[in-house]
């Protein structure tokens, strides 16, 4: 999969001129949505079919600061895949410099009830499984 590119906006920086830490969660979401689109099964399709995928947990490790106009390349890989949960890991770089690593874990809900990804969306599950085998 192609890494997602995010150019840091002025409003994403704090008074010190550094990208505010909370924005990295948004960058992860942008990259995850792009990853799903590249997979051919975007969030719009899943939600149109009545399934949502909320965040269960998130962990972020900040390595180096980024600033206005930096272009952050965000690589997304599947860390965990079960019937009920999908875990991602993110590697964020500016050029050759590692700036952040992160992980997020998601579940799948339909009508506010847990749903099996394998049973509800077998094609999506299999596509995700193939990305794991390809890594």
Q: For residue 120, report the phi and psi dihedrals to the nearest 5 degrees.
A: -80, -40
30 by DSSP, 3-state: which? helix
Using CA of residue 58, residue 4, residue 1, residue 92, what is the dihedral sign? negative
Percent of the chain with pLDDT over 90: 81
- Using alpha carbons, select from 99, 96, 80 the residue that is nearest to residue 88: 80
* pLDDT of 41 over the 90 cut: no
Residue 112 has pLDDT above 60, yes or no: yes
Which is higher by pLDDT, 91 or 1?
A: 91
Give Cα 107 to chain centroid, integer Å: 13
Asked if pLDDT for residue 134 goes beyond 80, the answer is: no
Of the segments 31-45, 82-96, 117-131, which one has the largest average pLDDT value?
A: 82-96
Q: Which two tokens stand for residue 54?
A: 């909320």
∠ CA(89), CA(91), CA(95), 5° rounding? 170
Report the chain's mean pLDDT, rounded to a whole number. 94
Q: Which residue range(s) make up the domain with 15?
A: 4-134
pLDDT recorded at residue 60: 98
pTM: 0.93
Give the number of domains in the chain. 1
Convert the pLDDT of each residue in 44-75 to its tens digit: 888 888 889 999 999 999 999 999 999 999 99
What is the reported pLDDT for 78?
Answer: 96
Confidence grade of residue 135 (pLDDT, cut at 50, 70, 90) = low
Pick from 51, 39, 42: nearest CA to 114: 51
Q: Would you state the structure tokens that stand for residue 112, as one six-digit string?
A: 């506010």
Tokens encoding 78: 């599947």
Task: Identify the CATH number of the domain in which residue 70 sits.
Answer: 3.10.129.10
């Amino acid at each position: 999969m192609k890494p997602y590119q995010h150019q840091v906006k002025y409003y994403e920086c704090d008074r010190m001129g550094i990208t505010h830490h909370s924005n990295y969660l948004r960058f992860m979401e942008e990259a995850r949505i792009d990853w799903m689109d590249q997979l051919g099964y975007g969030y719009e399709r899943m939600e149109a079919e009545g399934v949502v995928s909320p965040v269960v947990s998130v962990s972020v490790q900040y390595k180096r600061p980024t600033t206005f106009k930096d272009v952050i390349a965000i690589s997304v890989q599947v860390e965990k895949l079960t019937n009920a949960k999908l875990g991602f890991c993110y590697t964020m770089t500016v050029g050759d410099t590692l700036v952040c690593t992160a992980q997020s874990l998601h579940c799948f809900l339909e009508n506010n009830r847990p749903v099996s990804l394998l049973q509800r969306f077998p094609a999506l599950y299999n596509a995700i499984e193939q990305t794991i085998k390809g890594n």
